[in-house]
Amino acid sequence: MKTLCPYGTHRVIDPKGVLPQAANIIDNDMTCLDNEMKIDVDTLNIDSASFRQIKDACDHDENKMKDMIMAIVAKQGKMQNPVTKSGGMLIGTVGVVGKDFHDKAIKAGMKVATLVSLSLTPLVIEEILSINMTNEQVRIKGQAIVFDSGVYAVIPDDLDEKLVLAALDVAGAPAQTAQLAKEGDTVLIIGATGKSGLLCAYQAKKSVGKTGRVIALVNNQEKKDLLEELGYADDIIIASALDATDVFEKVKTITDGQLVDLTINVVNVMNTEMTSILATKDHGTVYFFSMATSFTKAALGAEGIGKDVLMIIGNGYAEGHADFTLRIMRESKELRALFTKRYVA
């Protein structure tokens, strides 16, 4: 008889001995085992870095993207982009709850959003109904399995489920921003108008208070105008996150050479590690929430320029992060309206 593991190792096919996220192939048989929960899936929220890579690889052709996503899941048993290694999350209705599943309050018929990555979630896609090219949401007919260690949130009655899906996809970022940004800090947010960037900017502005400063980096005037309207940044830089020295000089000018205490990187493109590191003062902190981050480039790059900064890899999970992020959605009418416009339509 198969020994069931709360972390799902009983579903790992290749290579043996690793956890499901690190596995190349997992078992996506949709028989719900005793310590699992089965979900009838409505929507996948592909993480931003993965979605961009797939869209670019398919020349922005929706049918080609459908074929690529279907092929990834068919081969691996999960939605893990083979290039970025990242996944996303899903929303659906609880179908079956195993008798030994840890949460005795969860029942069939409840609408939930998973708070664990698709890169470790056993998934079957019967059909892709549509792909929203602007907000990374993929409507499907399919099923998924949540392991006993899995984290999820029941969809609240007062918020649209698509809005909840978008917000919870990046819930770790604003929750950890609240832990990292202190009163009086100068904070740089790279990629400040994406969903994680907006949530982080909102929270950073609250956390640093009147004596602190939030600097936002965006790549065009339209995004600058949006941030100015929202009022989430004290200074806004228009520049490419790929141009480390240009951003460094602009941040240096704004801060009178002091640089920033905390940099939050939430962009979905590669090669922005040194931009983050250069802009941060010695003994400051760089928080890499972007799935496009390279540990090697960050570690060796900081060493190469003699920069003593604390570098934190963003964890998609933080204690209480779902409630924290949904509280922001309820607290900020402007942010809720913007997310509704982007992700509910």
The whole-number average pLDDT for the span 277-290 is 97
**pLDDT recorded at residue 266:** 96
Contact indicator for 281, 260 with CB cutoff of 8 Å: yes
Alpha helices for 62-122 (secondary structure H):
62-76
Q: Return the bridge partners of 187, or none.
A: 214, 262
Is the bond leading into 15 cis (omega within 30 degrees of zero)?
A: yes
CA distances from 250 to 194, 200, 241, 254, 279 (A): 21, 21, 12, 6, 9
Structure-block tokens of residue 155: 């969809």
**pLDDT recorded at residue 315:** 87
How does DSSP classify residue 184? T
pLDDT tens sequence across 214-244: 999 999 999 999 999 999 999 999 999 999 9
Element (H, E) at 44: strand 37-46
Element (H, E) at 237: strand 235-238
Torsional sign, CA 112, 113, 118, 124: positive
Q: Is 345's pLDDT higher than 90?
A: no
pLDDT tens sequence across 32-67: 999 999 999 999 999 988 999 999 999 999 999 999
pLDDT tens sequence across 141-150: 999 999 999 9
For the chain, which residues make up each domain, given as ranges?
9-155, 172-337
Around Cβ 66, how many Cβ atoms within 10 Å?
19
State the Cα–Cα distance between residues 78 and 55, nearest whole angstrom. 19
SS3 content of the chain, % helix, strand, coil (to 5): 35, 25, 40
172-205 burial string, b = 16+ CB within 10 Å, else e?
A: bbbbbbbebbeeebbbbbbbbbbbbbbbbbbbbb
**pLDDT recorded at residue 313:** 94
Q: Are strands 37-46 and 123-131 parallel, antiparallel or unpaired?
A: unpaired
Q: In Å, how far from its chain's centre is CA 222?
A: 23
Question: 172-337: CATH homologous superfamily?
Answer: Medium-chain alcohol dehydrogenases, catalytic domain (3.90.180.10)
The whole-number average pLDDT for the span 103-125 is 97
89-100 burial string, b = 16+ CB within 10 Å, else e?
A: bbbbebbbbbee
**pLDDT recorded at residue 119:** 97
Q: Is 97's pLDDT higher than 80?
A: yes
Q: What is the mean pLDDT of the chain?
A: 96
pLDDT tens sequence across 132-178: 998 899 999 999 999 999 999 999 999 999 999 999 989 999 999 99
The whole-number average pLDDT for the span 76-96 is 96
Task: Report pTM.
Answer: 0.89
**pLDDT recorded at residue 291:** 85
pLDDT tens sequence across 206-215: 999 999 999 9
| pLDDT classification of 3: cutoffs 50, 70, 90 | confident
How does DSSP classify residue 330? H
Q: Is 123's pLDDT higher than 80?
A: yes
126-156 burial string, b = 16+ CB within 10 Å, else e?
A: eebeebbeebbbbebebbbbbbbebebbebe
